[in-house]
Chain A
Amino acid sequence: MANTYTAIATVTVGSGGAASIDFSSIPATYTDLQLLISTREESTATAELFLKFNNTTSNLSTRWLRGNGASVSSGTTTNIQLLTSSNIGGANIFSNVSFYIPNYAGSNNKSAFSDVVVENNVTSSPDVFQNLAAHLWSNTAAINQITLFLASGDIAQYSTATLYGIKNS
């Protein structure tokens, strides 16, 4: 039987960090895409990791649900915001992100789900949370490029991202 869950590409950030992580020329031969991400930003800012499709930040939206160990909140953004860990919580701590896009090459608008977690064993910090989010790219084009980038600064060395293609037949 053909392999259903296939690694398309993986990126590991090298020394010095990287301004972005990019997956281009994504083939349209799969049904769904899943992106598994482990990232960190080496600053003391609450790091905002963003994602864009086909090199555009237009027509994106997010509706999120977040808990940080003390309170729960919900909000919206006009981009695809994933969040990541930073140096607030200490060294060597990376976020974990799962990002799922069903029917990424179909002719409807593109819906997606993300699940982001950061834990740093610090009792009070803005840099610890679990975040669930519903994302939308209001565009009927097939997704052929996915780019991860920060609001500021570079994605830290040893960050990784792997893009998988999933076939439903």
Chain B
Amino acid sequence: MAVTYEPIATSTITGSTVASVTFSSIPSTYTDLVVVIQAKGTFAQDGIDVTFIFNGDNSGGNYSVVYMNGNGTTTNSGRNSAGIGYFSFVPAGNNTAGVYSANVHHIMNYANTTTYKTTLGKISFPGNQAGANVGLWRSTAAIGSIQLQISNGSQGYYETGSTLTIYGIKAA
């Protein structure tokens, strides 16, 4: 039987100064990608974004996201069209030690060269919020690399023990 769901690459943070993880040379032979982020940041605040940067496109203006979340008391929905790929949200330095996110992001049809790329994110930030979002990268290029950066790259690092993994899913 053909293997449908395959790990492409994984990164487990062992040091204390890693602010960004890049998965490059992503083969175009899959249909969809799944990015699993079990992570925590070191920056002294309550939660921090993980920025998605596709194919090194960090020029701004090509990303937007619509999100909804609940913090256990209130609900919230909004849109960020500032051009940054703030697609994920994880615990940070002011959150409970030893508690990491359980976020899963699906990127359907990532290798096509006709459409913009859409992500579907599920956010599990224990003790803070549960939510979902839809992200958009306005480029028709096939995704060949994904950089997962803590915030804007200057707000701390990934906590040791954080794990980021990309899987490929084949439709046939």
**Interface positions of A (Cβ within 8 A of B):** 1, 3-5, 31-32, 61, 63-66, 72-76, 100-103, 106-109, 111-113, 115, 132-136, 138, 140, 166-169
Contact = CB atoms under 8 A, between A and B. Distances in A.
Interface majority SS (helix, strand, loop, mixed), chain B: strand
Contacts, number: 126
B7 A4 contact: yes
B165 A100 contact: no
A102 B99 CA distance: 12
Interface size class, chain B: 35 or more
A47 B3 CA distance: 37
15 contacts: A4-B6, A4-B7, A63-B126, A64-B72, A65-B68, A74-B73, A74-B130, A100-B102, A109-B100, A111-B101, A111-B102, A115-B122, A133-B124, A167-B7, A168-B165
B38 interface: yes
Interface of B: 3-7, 10, 36, 38, 68-75, 96, 98-104, 122-132, 161, 163, 165, 167
Contact of A111 (B10, B75, B100, B122): B100
B118 to A, nearest CB: 18
Nearest to A65: B70
Contacts of B167: 4, 166, 168
Given A1-B6, A4-B7, A65-B69, A31 B165 contact: yes
Nearest to B91: A111
Contact of B130 (A72, A108, A133): A133
A139 to B, nearest CB: 10
